[in-house]
Amino acid sequence: MLGTALVPFLQQRHQVWGIDVDDCDICDAEAILAVLRARHPELVIHLAAYTDVDGCEANPQIAEATNSTGTRNVATACAEVDAAMLYVSTDYVFDGTKVGAYLEDDLPNPVSVYGQSKWLGEQHVRAILKRYFIARTSWLYGPNGKNFVTTILRVAHKQKLLRVVNDQHGSPTYTRHLASKIAELAETQAYGVYHTTGSGTCSWFEFARAILELWPMESVQVLPISSDESGRAARRPANSVLENRALQKAHLEPMPHWKVALAEYLNETKRSSQARVFEESERGTAN
C-alpha cells in the first residue's frame, strides 16, 4: 500500500526503482545484495514486511524471517554498496502503557509477534548502518491495499451494525501524506529515528464514525467495544500515539490532521474506480 503511494511521488524528482517481492525476496540475502549491486542506489527505502498483525501470531517464523532477518539482509546489503537506508517501522513497537504520547527515544516493549519482529528489524538497522532513518508510522490507509477505511466501508454495505474497538488510541496516517513526508526526510541528511504519523488522535471507534460521517450510509450503526470483546489474536497497544518531535526538531512540517486527511482520501476515492467496489458490494456482486 505505502509503496504504491511512494514510488510515483519520488519519481517526480529522483531516479527510483520500485522493487516488488516478485523481483526480490528480502529473506534471500544474496538476491537483495545482487539487486543493490546492479543498481548502486544512494538510498534504499525498505517497506517490505509481513504486515498481517494477527497472522504473525500464527506464523511467528514468517514474521521473524521477513521483518527481522529480512531487514537485516537489506541493511547488510546497504552497507555493502554504501547506501543509506530508510526503514519504515511501526507504533506497535510500544506496549501502549505510557500516559501521553510516545517520543522517539522511549524504550520499545512490543506486545505482539509483529511488533517484536519490527523492533528486531530496527535494532539490526541501528547495529549495521551509520546512515539510516527509522520512520515509525501508524494506522496507515490509502489506495491499493487492505486498510481500516476500506474495510469499514465494505462491511457497512453488508451489515447495519458495526462493532469497533474503543479502547485503543492512535493516529491514522494517509499514505499520500506519509509518502510526501518520507520524501522530504530522505532529502535531508538528518539521520535518526522519526515518528511520522497524521496529526491528532482518536480511537478506532471514533475513526469508524468519522468515516461513516463522511461517507454516509442509511441506518448503519457503530457500537463501541473493548479490545477483549474484539477477539483478535494479537494484542495491540492501548496507546499508540506517537509524538512527531524529531520531525519538528528537523524543521519539517507536521502532517495534516487525520480528519482533514480522511476527507481528502474519501473525496479522491469517490472520484476513482475504487468507489465502485463499495457500490457493487451493496448490490451483492463483490465482497
Ligand X SMILES: NC(=O)c1ccc[n+]([C@@H]2O[C@H](COP(=O)([O-])OP(=O)(O)OC[C@H]3O[C@@H](n4cnc5c(N)ncnc54)[C@H](OP(=O)(O)O)[C@@H]3O)[C@@H](O)[C@H]2O)c1
Catalytic choice (50, 87, 102, 114): 114
Cα R_g (the chain), whole angstroms: 19
Nearest residue (CB) to ligand X, 206 versus 220? 206
Q: How far is the CB of 88 from ligand X (least distance, A)?
A: 4
Is 9 an interacting residue with respect to ligand X (CB under 6 A)?
A: no
φ, ψ (nearest 5 deg) of residue 223: -115, 135
- List, in order, residues 6 or more apart from 260 with CB less than 8 Å away: none
Tell how strand 169-170 and strand 202-203 pair up. Answer: antiparallel
Q: Kindly report the CA angle at 221 between 218 and 225, in degrees rounded to 5?
A: 160
Short-list 16, 59, 224, 53, CA closest to 140: 53
The DSSP line for 202-213 is EEHHHHHHHHHH
Amino acid at 7: V
Is 21 an interacting residue with respect to ligand X (CB under 6 A)?
A: yes
Q: How far is the CB of 218 from ligand X (least distance, A)?
A: 29
Nearest residue (CB) to ligand X, 174 versus 220? 174
Alpha-carbon distance of 278 to 217, in angstroms, equals 11
User: Where in 94-133 is the site for ligand X (CB under 6 A)?
Assistant: 118
Is 84 an interacting residue with respect to ligand X (CB under 6 A)?
A: no
Alpha-carbon distance of 92 to 239, in angstroms, equals 10
Is 31 an interacting residue with respect to ligand X (CB under 6 A)?
A: no
Which listed residue (66, 168, 201, 244) binds ligand X by CB under 6 A? 66
Is 48 an interacting residue with respect to ligand X (CB under 6 A)?
A: yes
Q: Is 114 a catalytic residue?
A: yes
Is 51 an interacting residue with respect to ligand X (CB under 6 A)?
A: yes
Residue pointed to by grid coordinates 461513516: 212
Q: How far is the CB of 67 from ligand X (least distance, A)?
A: 7
Q: How far is the CB of 137 from ligand X (least distance, A)?
A: 5
Active site members: 114
Chain residues in the site for ligand X (CB under 6 A): 1-2, 21, 25-27, 47-51, 66, 70, 88, 90, 118, 137-140, 145
